[in-house]
């Protein structure tokens, strides 16, 4: 990173991510916003690679929920009438 301002911002934002006061997604949004507005960052050829590495560092582990897990079975209720009928047989 050639932009000193971005370096300082990333360091500050990363500390906030580590203290759970800023989400990693929001951090990356703020970085992208800065890059779009900063002429120094726009000229930096290595910045995209460095940002990709940073994304890997701050990535939040996520679990994929399969379709089977999303389906919750309806509970089946046994009524007293059914219990009595079963006992009679």
For the chain, domain boundaries: 4-62
**What backbone phi and psi angles, to 5 degrees, belong to 10?**
-60, -45
Q: What length does the chain have?
A: 89
Q: Which residue has the tokens 């800065």?
A: 34
Please name which of 35, 68, 63, 72 lies closest in space to residue 51, comparing C-alpha atoms. Answer: 35
pLDDT digits (tens, 9 = 90+) for 61-84: 444 455 555 555 566 665 655 555
- Interval 4-62: pLDDT, tens: 999 999 999 989 988 888 888 889 999 999 999 999 999 999 998 998 888 888 875 44
Q: What is the pTM of this model?
A: 0.61
- Interior angle at CA 86, CA 84 and CA 89, nearest 5: 110
């Amino acid at each position: 990173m050639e932009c000193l301002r971005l370096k300082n911002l990333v360091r500050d934002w990363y500390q906030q991510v580590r203290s759970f006061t800023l989400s990693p997604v929001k951090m990356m949004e703020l970085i992208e916003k800065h890059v779009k507005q900063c002429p120094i960052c726009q000229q930096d050829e290595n910045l995209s690679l460095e940002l990709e590495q940073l994304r890997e560092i701050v990535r939040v582990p996520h679990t994929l929920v399969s379709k089977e897990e999303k389906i919750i079975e309806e509970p089946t209720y046994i009524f007293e009438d059914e219990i009595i009928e079963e006992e009679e047989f």
